[in-house]
Amino acid sequence: MGSSREKISLNVGGDRYEISPSTLQAFPGTKLCHLTEPQACTVFDYDCNHKEFFFDRSPRLFGEVLNYYRTKHLHCPEGICKSAFEEELAFWEISHVPVAPCCWQKVANAEARQAEGILCDETSESDRRGPPLSGERRSNSWRAKQQPKIWALFENPFSSLRAKCLAVVSLLFNIGIVIIFEEKSRAQLHYRYSTTISILENHTQHEHYSFVYQPANNYLYLELFCILWFTFEFSVRLTFCPDTKMFFRNPLNVTDFLSLFPVYIEIFLTGHINNMLSLLSWLGLFRVLYVVKLLKIFKLLETPLMLRVLPFTFRSILKEVFILMMIFTFEILFFGALCYHVELHEPETYFDGMISSFYWAAITLTTVGYGDIVAFSPFGRVIAFCAAICGMLTIIIPLLIFLIKFQGHYAMAVMKEKMKSNKRSH
C-alpha cells in the first residue's frame, strides 16, 4: 500500500473517491478500516493498474457512509428506503449506529410506512390464502377434495354463480328473521299498568307496571324455519372450514353460533317460559344478534378501498387508544369524585352517590350532556366546564392520530392497487 500518508482510492459503482487512511481508521473493525491494512490488496477487489479498490455498490448510499466516517454523525438520505440503507451499512460492517437527531423524523416516518406495508401485506395475504389446512385435511379423501369447493360456495359469493345465489338466499333469511323478531316482540310482550293511591301525610300516587307475556306461536314457527336454515348453513361452514380456531376468531361466526340458541330454548321450555321473564329478557338480548348478522350484506358488495383500509388503521392505533382510554378513565374518576364532594351539601343535588357522579363525569367528558344530572353550585359548574374542556381534548387527540394513520394506510393501499392493475395490464 505504500506510505501511510498515501491516499486510498476507491471505485464505488463507477464513482471514484480518494480518501485519507486516517479517515477510514475512524471506526476500527469496519470494512473501510480494513482497507488500510497491508494485506487489503489480496483480501478485497484491488485493481493494480488503476491502483484502486472496486466495490459494486450504490454511490449515493456510499456517500452517506463516507460522510459518517468524516463527521461521526450518520444521516439518512432523503428518498432512500430504510431497509436498503440498513443493508448498505451492514455491507460496510457498520452496525447499531443511531442516526443524527435531524434525521429522526425521516426514520420514524420510514418505519411507520414499513410497518403499515407489513400489516397490509400480512392481512391481505392471509385473506387470499384463507386459514391453513391441517395435515389430516390434506389427504386424498372425499372431504379433502370437496372442502375447497364447498367452503368457497358458502364463504365467497364471488367464486361462482351458485355461491352468489346462496349468499342472496342467506341474506333474505337474515332480513326475514329481523322482521319476524321485531313483529314477534311487539305481539309477545306488553306492559301492564296499575295505579295505586297511598294516603299518607301527603297524597301520593304511584304507578306500577309489569311485563305480560303472550305467546306468539305463529311468529315462533316462522323464526324456527329461518333458524333451521341458519343451523344448516353454520353446520356446513363449520364442517368444511379449513381451520376451526380461525373460524371462531371471526366475530360474525361467533354471532351466527350464539344466535341459534334462543329459538331452541324457547321451544324446549314451551308452557313454562311464561314464569321466566328474566330468561325472556336474556333470549331477547341474544336475538338482537339477528341485526348484527345483516352485516353479511357486505359479502355481496365489492368492498370500497376506504373500508378495507379501516381495519388496518384501527389495528395500528390500538396502543394509543388504550393509553387514551386509561386517561379518560382517570378523568371520569377524578371529576366525578371532585364534583360529588362539592355538590354533597347542596339541598337539591342530583349526586346521590359516587356511581351517579361517575356517570355524570362520563356524560360531561364526552360533551353529550343529557341534563338529567347537573351541578348547582358555582364551583361545581366550574368543574363541569373544566371536565368538558378536558373531554374535548381527550377525544380530539385520538381523532388526529387516526386521521394521520388512515392517510398513510390509504396512500399505501392506493399505490398497491395501481401496482396490481399494472400487473394485470401487462
Q: How many residues does the chain have?
A: 426
Reported confidence tier of residue 132, pLDDT bands at 50, 70, 90: very low
The residue-averaged pLDDT of 106-129 equals: 52
Residue 111 has pLDDT above 60, yes or no: no
Q: pLDDT of 29-57, one tens digit each? A: 888 888 888 888 888 988 888 889 999 99
Tell me the three cell numbers of residue 211.
Answer: 311485563
pLDDT value, residue 382: 93
Residue 206 has pLDDT above 80, yes or no: no
pTM of the prediction? 0.55
Tell me the three cell numbers of residue 362.
Answer: 362520563
Q: pLDDT of 1-22, one tens digit each? A: 544 457 889 999 888 998 988 8
Residue 212 has pLDDT above 80, yes or no: no
Contact 171, 296 (CB under 8 A): yes
Parallel, antiparallel or unpaired: strands 203-213 and 15-19: unpaired
174, exposed or middle or buried, with CB in 10 Å at 0-12, 13-18, 19+? buried
Contact 104, 40 (CB under 8 A): no
Reported confidence tier of residue 109, pLDDT bands at 50, 70, 90: low
Q: What is the mean pLDDT of the chain?
A: 80
Torsion on CA atoms 63, 64, 65, 70, rounded to nearest 10: 90
pLDDT value, residue 2: 45
The residue-averaged pLDDT of 211-228 equals: 80
Parallel, antiparallel or unpaired: strands 52-55 and 189-199: unpaired
Distance between CA 257 and CA 243 in Å, rounded? 16
Residue 278 has pLDDT above 90, yes or no: no
Contact 408, 116 (CB under 8 A): yes
Q: pLDDT of 334-390, one tens digit each? A: 999 999 888 887 777 888 888 989 999 999 998 887 888 888 888 989 999 999 999
The residue-averaged pLDDT of 149-161 equals: 87
